[in-house]
Amino acid sequence: MDGTDIALLSIAASAWTGAALERESTSALIKLASMGLDSDSEALSLLAPRINGTNENFTVITDAIIRRSEIEFEYVSSDLTKQQRRIAPYSLRGQSGSWYLVGQDLEKNSLRTFRLDRIVSEVSASKKSNTYVIPDEIPDQGAEEVREIARIRIRKNRGHQLRSYATVLESDEEWDEVSLPIVDANWLLRTILWHRDDVVLLEPSSLRRQIVQSLEELRVLHG
């Protein structure tokens, strides 16, 4: 690889706006680092916040991948429990409007995929570098997929249990509109009913119908 190739690789790795830190751009940065050459890391850090669907942890994970440093974070699992995860990060991938982290789960000793919007804490990275090797080929791994997203209005200072799993979409003086992954529809139904008029489900319509039916049954039962 001559000087021109190296320069082009560095520029491409730092400027792929549409697919920043997808498999190809991550590989490019790692290749440069392995050769003892720097890409424009400042340009890269400015680029990350402009990518749709990313969050504040994106840059931390990106840097950890380049340095081959282990990371830790709290993650909402499929049963809506929060679990601490320790990961050797391999790559970041965009798919269907969401960003996914692929890496080796060091506690479970298996390759796992995590949706970035289900990481509910700051990602902390180890100060130690080159603590693992990224495989040349990373198998496609499916995250614990959520079939639907609920859109809910929650009264200010209410619904803290729901808020802990939600992303705020917009707010006014009295209400916050949030999105929430539907992992367990029955749990979500019970929780919304428990909060009474402090929570209003907007979507999906199928769950709205179940809530209306449940309220009708309660009205008949209790008069």
Three-class SS of the chain: CCHHHHHHHHHHHHHCHHHCCCHHHHHHHHHHHHCCCCCCHHHHHHHHHHCCCCCCCHHHHHHHHHHCCCEEEEEECCCCCEEEEEEEEEEEEEECCEEEEEEEECCCCEEEEEEHHHECCCCEECCCCCCCCCCCCCCCCCCCCCCEEEEEEEECCCCHHHHCCCEEEEECCCEEEEEEEECCHHHHHHHHHHCHHHEEEEECHHHHHHHHHHHHHHHHHHC
Per the listing, tokens 């249990």 go with 161
Beta carbons of 105 and 132 less than 8 angstroms apart? no
Q: Give the torsion sign (CA, 95, 99, 103, 105).
A: negative
Instruction: Let me know if domain 148-222 sits in CATH 1.10.10.
Output: no
Nearest one of 64, 112, 105 to 86, comparing CA atoms: 105
Between 128 and 32, the more confident residue is 128
pLDDT at residue 172 above 80? yes
Which residues, including other chains, have CB under 8 Å from residue 222's CB and lie 6 or more apart? none
114 vs 16: CA distance, rounded Å: 22
Sequence spans of domains, the chain: 3-125, 148-222
- Please tell me the distance from the alpha carbon of residue 105 to that of residue 87, in angstroms, as a whole number: 5
pLDDT confidence of residue 154: 95
**pLDDT score for 112:** 87
What's the whole-model pTM score?
0.46
pLDDT at 4: 44
Residue-wise pLDDT for 117-131, tens only, equals: 888 899 999 999 999
Q: Report CA dihedral (177, 122, 33, 94) to the nearest 10 degrees.
A: -30
Q: Going edge to edge, which strands form the sheet with 199-203? A: 167-171, 175-182, 148-155, 199-203
Q: Is the pLDDT of residue 153 over 60?
A: yes
Q: Quick one: pLDDT at residue 82?
A: 83
pLDDT at position 198, please? 92
**Which pLDDT band holds residue 90 (cuts at 50, 70, 90)?**
very high
pLDDT digits (tens, 9 = 90+) for 33-84: 555 545 444 444 444 433 433 457 888 999 999 999 999 999 987 666 788 9
Inter-residue contact 11 to 37 (CB < 8 Å): no
Confidence of residue 89 (pLDDT cuts 50, 70, 90): very high
The most confident of 16-30, 54-68, 137-151, 165-179, by mean pLDDT? 165-179
